[in-house]
A and B are shown apart, each in its own frame.
Chain A
């Protein structure tokens, strides 16, 4: 009985724990963590603040080139003195920017067009972002169209190639390259300074 046990033991001695599968297990764990970990990329709406002015007067903008977007504390939108709503902004911005001097109420040319966004002190940030997002989306749609066709809305050609969308065009640019789409149709969004009065 004891001899049998001894025999068995001695037989097992040369059999080590297989370590080759350890690597597989570690790989499996690594892959699991790779898949589950989302590297936190900061996403948001990029803006550039106007520089602090030395003199009081900002450059004058012709009335027809200016699209005033006013948002009050209850989220009601005033577009150039007309009552409106958030979902109308995108269309309105597009008509304003791409007017090319046709309608005297809208802009002379896309590069002259300015969108001015102004809020109440009590406006919730959420609504401000909603409105800003609509304005940005209006521009993004215009840019997407340019990237897809290679031409400006006026018919002028800007890009030698066409792209799936504006994002794809941006990715094709090197760090030194200029964004021709953005240059030919600049995005003028003015985040108006708050009134000191109210």
Chain B
């Protein structure tokens, strides 16, 4: 009796939900994530092992960020030497930072300079770079650091 009923019902129902639009939805999601994800396009030539800190703030607006890397060069003839990298190139003269940053500031007045500095770097280099940033007028900086594992 019960099985009969079941059979009857199954024959009545339509073959299934239309799944034709599902791939479209998935594609839409996939494209959304592809568009929103920012891939790292610069090759980092200096080692930047970031320090740990507690009082962290997040920068949501990725477009405002310009990265400055400071740390020992990973490979090549200058290996181990502390160097400054902006975009793809190592900076030879610190005074060049001024021009680069000034130009970036003209394009984006709300620029935030994210300083990604190796934890073992000496403050002398950091101070020199900061002086250059002051000259350029890019005063909003961010000492990039990792969240500290709480004690």
Contact = CB atoms under 8 A, between A and B. Distances in A.
Query: Are A and B physically bound partners?
Result: yes
Interface of A: 19-20, 22-23, 26-27, 30, 33-34, 37, 39-52, 119-126, 128-130, 132-133, 136-137, 139-140, 191, 193-194
A133 B144 CA distance: 12
B60 to A, nearest CB: 7
A124 B120 contact: yes
B117 A46 contact: no
Contacts, number: 148
22 contacts: A22-B19, A23-B26, A44-B53, A44-B143, A44-B144, A46-B57, A46-B142, A47-B143, A48-B140, A48-B141, A49-B139, A121-B122, A122-B123, A125-B117, A125-B120, A130-B53, A132-B143, A133-B55, A137-B54, A191-B130, A194-B123, A194-B127
Interface string B6-31: 00000000001101001100100110
A44 B57 contact: yes
A43 B123 contact: no
Contacts of B60: 41
Given A30-B26, A44-B114, A50-B134, A121 B124 contact: yes
Contacts of A125: 51, 117-123, 126
Contact of A20 (B19, B57, B127, B134): B19
B75 to A, nearest CB: 22
A23 B23 contact: yes
B65 interface: yes
- Greatest chain A CB density within 10 A among B16, B54, B112 is at B54
Interface of B: 16-17, 19, 22-23, 26, 29-30, 33, 36-38, 40, 51-60, 62, 65, 112, 114-115, 117-124, 126-127, 130-131, 133-135, 137-148
A136 B55 contact: yes
A30 B29 contact: yes
A42 B142 contact: yes
A128 B19 contact: no
Given A119-B123, A124-B122, A125-B118, 7 more contacts: A22-B19, A43-B59, A45-B143, A47-B143, A129-B53, A137-B54, A194-B131
A40 B58 CA distance: 10
Given A42-B142, A42-B144, A19 B19 contact: yes
Contacts of B140: 46, 48-49
Given A42-B58, A42-B142, A43-B144, A49 B130 contact: yes
